[in-house]
Amino acid sequence: METNQPIDSYSGYLHLDRLLDCQRPRSGQAEQAVHDEMLFIITHQSCELWFKQILHDMRSVADILHDVPSGSSLPDTAVVRSRRIAAVVRHLTDQCGILETMDPCDYADFRGLLYPISAFQSVQFRKIEILFGVRREQQVLYDGYAHSSRIPVADRDELRRMEEEPTLFDRVQSWLERLPFLEVGGYSFRRAYQDAVRRMLGREREAIRENEAFSALEKQKYLVETSTVEERFDTLFDPERYREIAATGRRRFSHRAMLAALFIMVYHDRPRLQTSRRLLDALIDIDEALALWRYHHALMAHRMIGEKIGSGGSSGFHYLKSTAENRRVYTDLTALATYLIPRTDRPALDPHVLHMLDGEISP
């Protein structure tokens, strides 16, 4: 459809004649139009527009991370656009509340006209998941089939090509691995942090043993808990143990990338690292926002259709709920809180590392 509106007008710039002609309820073609089908269509169309913005920003962030030289400061643009992605996803969650103003009975009046259409078939959302870093093995089967089975062949081929290209997760990991502050001269962040943790835990053990308010049984219990904490730290300090855990799928970042992320979190009060810390926080925000959006979507489906199957043939609520639980990407960053210690216990930085952090110089 060609636009008849002047391109220098508000309507022409936004192509409103075409945009506002895209809402065509199926019930309007039946004997009696269902009023709330318009809300259903507009909500999903607006989601697709926001998906387009998310992909636009996500690709940009991935490109920025790819182009950052080793040791250079991270452009704040990567943080701004990552935060916007999280804000858009939160907005999508709020949109669920608008759709929930529709009564389940009203939805039932036109739901039968949707078969076999399903939001599961959104190609743009599949692109978001792939680009963000959701792995193929994380993708919950849809009615026993891979997610691509309900998508047109041409789009299916494009998604396969995307799966072979670097993702945002890959770019983040590569950027972290290039950070030059972990080993400089004779300095090793891993060894320095490990020594600091052992000193901290040693003091805690001594305090437990000398505390007269604890019984012998309580002392034993607290000492065992301290040893458990030490074992958790050791899984990060020992590269071989870390690789073994990563092989089980419980860790996804490489060992070096994980240490680099921890370095950023521990010393994020250094001006050079503040933008990097904000990016890690933004990635966690996006991951959490997507999980909350999926979960709210599942609750909304439960409210609207109960235990019925989805319009595209999925198990409905149970399928949607499983996607919220199984498609997290940046849980390694969230898990870093496990390894943080009080600022008073963190090791002092090597003078050369401090010099690197205070200026744009190479190691």
Tell me, what's the pLDDT at 306?
A: 84
Amino acid 340: pLDDT: 96
The listed range with the strongest mean pLDDT (26-40, 184-198, 287-301, 347-361) is 184-198
With 0-12 CB in 10 A as exposed, 13-18 as middle and 19+ as buried, what is 144? exposed
Amino acid at 186: G
**Mean pLDDT in residue range 33-41:** 93
Mean pLDDT to the nearest integer, 355-362: 70
Kindly state the average pLDDT of the residues 287-309: 87
The mean pLDDT of 48-53, rounded to a whole number, is: 98
Band of the pLDDT at 305, cuts 50, 70, 90? confident
User: Does residue 86 contact residue 53 with C-beta atoms inside 8 Å?
Assistant: no
Q: How confident is the model at residue 127 (pLDDT cuts 50, 70, 90)?
A: very high
Closest among 332, 195, 356, 185 to 250, alpha carbons compared: 332
Q: With a cut of 90, say whether residue 360 has pLDDT above it.
A: no
> What pLDDT was estimated at residue 287?
97
Query: Residue 363 pLDDT > 70, yes or no?
Result: no
* 8 Å CB contact between 200 and 345: yes
pLDDT tens digits, 178-198:
999 999 989 999 999 999 999
How far apart (Å, rounded) are the C-alpha atoms in residues 37 and 107? 7
Q: Is the model's pLDDT at 135 over the cut of 60?
A: yes
pLDDT, tens digit, for every residue of 72-117? 889 999 999 999 999 999 999 999 999 999 999 999 999 988 888 8
Closest C-alpha among 170, 81, 119, 48 to residue 316: 119
Q: Over pLDDT 70: what percentage of the chain?
A: 90
Mind listing the domains of the chain with CATH numbers? 1-33 (no CATH), 37-180+271-357 (1.20.58.480)
309-334 residue pLDDT tens: 554 444 566 677 777 778 899 999 99
Quick count: other Cβ atoms within 10 Å of Cβ 355? Answer: 13
- The more confidently predicted of residues 344 and 2 is 344
Average pLDDT of the chain to the nearest whole number: 89
Q: What is the pLDDT of residues 200-222, one digit of tens each?
A: 999 999 999 999 999 999 999 99
